[in-house]
């Protein structure tokens, strides 16, 4: 090699830019996919929740009388408006379902369900049923 010879080299930025663009595209695709998956999850969750509400509504409709539903509403402290407005069974059911599925009421709802369960257990016991006055 001669000292007077020049060394020449070229930097090909085009390949580097393509790699950066590919990486950006992959990030964008990944973000879009995550958004789609998140929306899909939310839709499935909403549908499952709607199904649960429907099942609960049918359960109350088939297994409870208006008087029993009003007793539950009375426990929650929401029966006064229902009685004053002379609501029908559908209105009572809707009010009850909305109340029981409000996250702020979960503690009271769980307590009510537990107490109702105990009352039914006592009612169904041969010995204890004579001590229970429960409709």
Q: Is residue 98 part of a domain?
A: yes
Query: What pLDDT is recorded for position 72?
Result: 92
Q: Is residue 116, in this structure, part of any structural domain at all?
A: yes
Provide the number of structural domains found in the chain: 1
Q: What is the pTM of this model?
A: 0.59
| pLDDT given for residue 32 in this prediction | 65
CA 107 to each of CA 1, 12, 64, 99, 125: distance values in angstroms, whole numbers, following the listed order: 88, 67, 22, 12, 27
The answer to whether residue 86 sits within a structural domain is yes
- pLDDT value, residue 9: 59
**Structure tokens belonging to residue 42:** 């939310």
> Is the residue at 106 inside a domain?
yes
The per-residue DSSP string of 42-71 comes to HHHHHHHHHHHHHHHHHHHHHH--HHHHHH
Judge whether 32 lies within some domain.
yes
In a domain, 6, yes or no: no
| Domain-located, residue 18 | yes
Identify whether 30 is part of a domain.
yes
- Tokens standing for residue 11: 């930097």
Question: What tens-digit pLDDT sequence spans the chain (135 residues)?
Answer: 566 676 665 665 555 556 666 666 667 766 766 776 676 666 666 555 667 788 888 889 899 999 999 899 999 998 887 777 778 888 888 889 989 988 999 999 999 999 999 999 999 999 998 888 876
What pLDDT score does 78 carry?
A: 87
Q: Residue 41 sits in which domain range?
A: 13-131
Helix (H, G, I), strand (E, B) or coil at 99: helix
């Amino acid at each position: 090699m001669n000292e007077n010879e020049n060394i020449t080299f070229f930097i090909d930025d085009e390949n580097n830019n393509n790699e950066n663009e590919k990486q950006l595209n992959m990030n964008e695709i990944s973000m879009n996919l995550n958004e789609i998956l998140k929306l899909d999850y939310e839709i499935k969750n909403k549908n499952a929740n709607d199904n649960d509400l429907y099942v609960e509504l049918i359960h109350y409709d088939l297994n409870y009388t208006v008087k029993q539903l009003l007793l539950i509403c009375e426990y929650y402290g929401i029966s006064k408006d229902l009685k004053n407005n002379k609501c029908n069974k559908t209105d009572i059911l809707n009010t009850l379902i909305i109340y029981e599925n409000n996250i702020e009421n979960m503690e009271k709802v769980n307590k009510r369900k537990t107490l109702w369960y105990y009352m039914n257990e006592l009612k169904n016991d041969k010995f204890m049923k004579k001590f229970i006055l429960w409709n």
